[in-house]
């Protein structure tokens, strides 16, 4: 048994950026998660760890102390360190790393939290599409959780950061990221679904003078949406603009506005009301990402959105069952009064 624990610890050497302390803690947790050791089993002594791993005594003592603080092991007089009987269900601590607490990500979180049940600890972190924050957060949480569910940043450096997490403990959600055939994901696609939705709306869009996409460069807006918009307006010769921000009180009649962020959406709606422009007639509005309020506000807002509840349910199943999964949740067009 002890030899297998050493193997699980040594497997993590390839991650490179883990400290010896983190490597030992994660290795013991991996052994518990993989049912190699169970409640009541004795862990190797500090001296045995030194002999097998060549780690410093202080490193091993610190790691065992960390495992004690987490409630995973306990120290018994005359027996050494023992896996606690109540700790096996608690070893699966889940780290959820999202962009921000947008309404649609709140839907994801609530469904995911409910799907995990009461026996799993879930800690939520946000990177706000900031690569430095993303990297620092990963460095702070790696080795401390049994599972990692991450919405990645669209950046060439992101993959290398996520490769530091063992493949059986990582689930990529929301944004596609090519991590290799061994990594699990539950994501949505952007470019083709958005293009298909715009194509379905083309006859309605053509009734308006022009179409405006509000797209903030450098934000967490998916580039696939911009690519789809540019393809569509080129293919169907639609007069258009792409603007980085919507300027309050600048709403124009006979225009279709396509928004990704809700801040722009609410401002446009407010300006339409103030200018007595009829939404769906004088001004068309298309919004990305569904939320309950969009079903009812101003007679209903037309949306292009994936099913975040389904995405979250699939993510919860991955965490609970530890089964390999690669799924793309389809996006659909929901037509309402606004377009």
Domain boundaries, the chain: 2-89, 92-188+308-331, 191-306
Output the six-digit token pair for 242: 């792409």
Q: What is the pLDDT of residue 31?
A: 86
The span from the CA of 113 to the CA of 207, in Å, is 44
Q: What is the pLDDT of residue 248?
A: 97
The span from the CA of 289 to the CA of 303, in Å, is 6
Render pLDDT for 230-243 as a digit per residue (tens, 0 to 9): 999 999 999 999 99
pLDDT higher than 80, residue 89? no
Output the six-digit token pair for 259: 């928004």
Among residues 29, 33, 37, which one has the least CA distance to residue 21?
A: 29
pLDDT higher than 50, residue 317? yes
pLDDT higher than 90, residue 103? no
2-89 and 191-306 agree in CATH topology: no
The span from the CA of 321 to the CA of 329, in Å, is 19
Q: What is the pLDDT of residue 3?
A: 59
The span from the CA of 160 to the CA of 266, in Å, is 38
The span from the CA of 97 to the CA of 162, in Å, is 12
Render pLDDT for 155-174 as a digit per residue (tens, 0 to 9): 999 999 999 888 888 999 99
Long-range (24+ apart) CB contacts under 8 A made by 73-79 are 73/28, 73/43, 79/42
Q: Which CATH superfamily is domain 191-306 in?
A: Response regulator (3.40.50.2300)
pLDDT higher than 80, residue 144? no
What average pLDDT does this structure show over 86-108? 77
Note the maximum CA span of the chain. Answer: 83
What average pLDDT does this structure show over 132-149? 89
> Percent of the chain, pLDDT > 90?
62
Contact 122, 113 (CB under 8 A): yes
pLDDT band at 87, cuts 50/70/90? Answer: very low
Residue of higher predicted confidence among 66 and 300: 300
Q: What is the DSSP secondary structure assignment for residue 137, as one 8-state letter?
A: H
The span from the CA of 264 to the CA of 66, in Å, is 46
> Class assignment of domain 2-89?
mainly alpha
pLDDT higher than 80, residue 92? no
Render pLDDT for 241-298 as a digit per residue (tens, 0 to 9): 999 999 999 999 999 999 999 999 999 999 999 999 999 999 999 999 999 999 999 9
Q: What angle do CA 190, 191, 195 make, to 5 degrees?
A: 115
Average pLDDT, the chain: 90
What average pLDDT does this structure show over 209-227? 92
Tell me the H-state helices in 70-208: 103-116, 131-141, 158-162, 191-200, 202-205
> Percent of the chain, pLDDT > 70?
95
Q: What is the pLDDT of residue 158?
A: 95
User: What would the CATH number be for the domain defined by 92-188+308-331?
Assistant: 3.40.50.2300
Residues 6+ apart with CB under 8 A from 222: 154, 175, 190, 260
Contact 31, 37 (CB under 8 A): yes
Stated pTM of the model: 0.75
What average pLDDT does this structure show over 126-136? 95
pLDDT higher than 50, residue 7? yes
């Amino acid at each position: 048994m002890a030899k297998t624990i050493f193997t699980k610890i040594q497997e993590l050497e390839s991650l490179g950026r883990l400290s010896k302390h983190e490597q030992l803690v994660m290795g013991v947790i991996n052994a518990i998660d993989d049912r190699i050791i169970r409640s009541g089993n004795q862990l190797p002594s500090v001296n045995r760890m030194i002999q097998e791993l060549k780690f410093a005594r202080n490193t091993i003592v610190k790691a065992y102390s960390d495992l004690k603080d987490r409630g995973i092991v306990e120290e018994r007089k005359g027996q050494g360190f023992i896996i606690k009987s109540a700790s096996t269900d608690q070893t699966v601590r889940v780290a959820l790393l999202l962009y921000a607490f947008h309404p649609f990500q709140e839907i994801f979180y609530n469904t995911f939290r409910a799907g995990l049940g009461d026996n799993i600890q879930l800690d939520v972190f946000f990177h706000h599409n900031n690569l430095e924050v993303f990297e620092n957060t990963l460095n702070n949480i790696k080795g401390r959780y049994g599972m990692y569910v991450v919405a990645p940043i669209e950046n060439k450096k992101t993959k290398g950061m996520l490769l530091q997490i063992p493949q059986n403990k990582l689930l990529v959600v929301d944004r596609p990221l090519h991590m290799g055939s061994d990594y699990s994901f539950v994501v949505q696609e952007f470019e083709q679904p958005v293009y298909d939705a715009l194509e379905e709306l083309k006859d309605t869009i053509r009734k308006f003078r022009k179409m405006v996409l509000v797209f903030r460069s450098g934000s967490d807006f998916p580039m696939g949406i911009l690519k789809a918009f540019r393809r569509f307006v080129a293919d169907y010769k639609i007069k258009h603009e792409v603007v980085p921000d919507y300027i309050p009180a600048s709403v124009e009649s006979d225009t279709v506005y396509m928004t990704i962020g809700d801040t722009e959406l609410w401002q446009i709606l407010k300006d339409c009301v103030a200018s007595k422009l009829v939404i769906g007639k004088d001004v068309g509005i298309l919004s990305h990402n569904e939320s309950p309020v969009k079903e009812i506000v101003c007679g209903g807002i037309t949306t292009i959105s994936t099913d975040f509840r389904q995405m979250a349910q699939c993510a919860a199943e991955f965490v609970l069952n530890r089964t390999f999964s690669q799924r793309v949740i389809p996006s659909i067009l929901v037509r309402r009064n606004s377009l």
